[in-house]
């Protein structure tokens, strides 16, 4: 896909990976819309990136808010070429200490949020495919925790394994509709994720720029070439 003037919707754009994706995709000439709850952070990004970025205050777990957000993108830009399902969080700790609220929060942001945004965007992309022969690209940000179970991250594991299954199913379901589905499985990245997760970050993590450069590469591949899954890791997570 040539990214110039393409319409991109990123969830979780106020920080970390999502904010970096927004910066790099605007630099590629895309029109980027970013969803998050923290309006001030989105405003800062609008000021930094200018008219090519629009922040939309939206809690991705709330069906009506997601509906309104997607409607506002369509009213403003008329199409959605790329959806990056990036909003997510972990609340780490022993399985017998996970609260019901922590379980629900991770399920709602990491899975229900992906479901709500994706369900709304698929018909838009199918229509684009009917009109032009190519529908669009959905990229899901899972984690290595979607491939490997580990102690003290059981709930997060459930959500990211779930996202793996959702991505695989979706990829097979919509490929003939001209819609690409890619799922990323990154290890540790230097973001605010670890403040929320409640564990220290590894000594030598990847950077948001690392992951974002790969996103740009994957989005720019030719229409009939799909990279469906990528595992990303720091080479020396413990440092040299």
Ligand X SMILES: NC(=O)c1ccc[n+]([C@@H]2O[C@H](COP(=O)([O-])OP(=O)(O)OC[C@H]3O[C@@H](n4cnc5c(N)ncnc54)[C@H](OP(=O)(O)O)[C@@H]3O)[C@@H](O)[C@H]2O)c1
Active-site positions? 156
Residues in CB range of 15: below 8 A, 6 or more apart: 36, 38, 41, 191, 192
Among 8, 22, 87, 116, binds ligand X (CB under 6 A): 87
**Is 126 among the residues that bind ligand X (CB under 6 A)?**
no
Among 2, 5, 27, 38, binds ligand X (CB under 6 A): 38
**Is 59 among the residues that bind ligand X (CB under 6 A)?**
yes
**Is 35 among the residues that bind ligand X (CB under 6 A)?**
yes
The span from the CA of 103 to the CA of 107, in Å, is 6
Q: Per the structure block, which two tokens stand in for 82?
A: 């790329």
Here's the x/- map for ligand X, 5-24, by CB under 6 A: it reads as ------xxxxxxxx------
Contact 143, 185 (CB under 8 A): yes
Site residues for ligand X, 159-218, by CB under 6 A, read 186, 188-189, 191-193, 196
Least distance to ligand X from the beta carbon of 3, Å?
21
Nearest to 69 by CA among 37, 35, 26: 35
Question: Facing residues of 34 across strands?
Answer: 10, 55
**Is 135 among the residues that bind ligand X (CB under 6 A)?**
no
How many positions of this chain bind ligand X (CB under 6 A)?
Answer: 30
Nearest to 108 by CA among 27, 30, 37, 15: 37
- Interface residue list for ligand X (CB under 6 A): 11-18, 35-38, 41, 59-61, 86-89, 109, 141, 143, 186, 188-189, 191-193, 196
């Amino acid at each position: 896909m040539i990214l110039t003037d393409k319409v991109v919707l990123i969830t979780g754009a106020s920080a970390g990976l999502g904010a970096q994706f927004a910066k790099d995709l605007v630099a590629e000439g895309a029109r980027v819309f970013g969803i998050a709850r923290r309006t001030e952070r989105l405003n800062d990004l609008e000021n930094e990136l200018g008219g090519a970025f629009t922040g939309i205050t939206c809690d991705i777990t709330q069906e009506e808010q997601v509906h309104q957000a997607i409607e506002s993108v369509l009213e403003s830009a008329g199409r959605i070429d790329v959806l990056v399902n990036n909003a997510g969080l972990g609340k780490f700790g022993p399985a017998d200490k996970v609260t019901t609220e922590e379980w629900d929060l991770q399920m709602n942001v990491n899975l229900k949020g992906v479901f709500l945004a994706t369900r709304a965007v698929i018909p838009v992309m199918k229509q684009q495919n009917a009109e032009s022969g190519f529908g669009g690209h959905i990229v899901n940000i899972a984690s290595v925790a979607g491939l490997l179970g580990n102690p003290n991250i059981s709930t997060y594991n459930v959500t990211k394994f779930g996202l793996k299954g959702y991505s695989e199913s979706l990829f097979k379901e919509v490929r003939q509709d001209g819609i690409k589905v890619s799922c990323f499985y990154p290890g540790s990245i230097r973001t605010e994720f670890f403040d929320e997760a409640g564990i220290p970050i590894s000594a030598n993590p990847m950077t948001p720029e690392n992951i974002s450069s790969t996103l740009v590469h994957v989005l720019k591949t030719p229409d009939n070439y799909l990279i469906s899954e990528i595992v990303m890791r720091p080479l020396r997570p413990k440092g040299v």
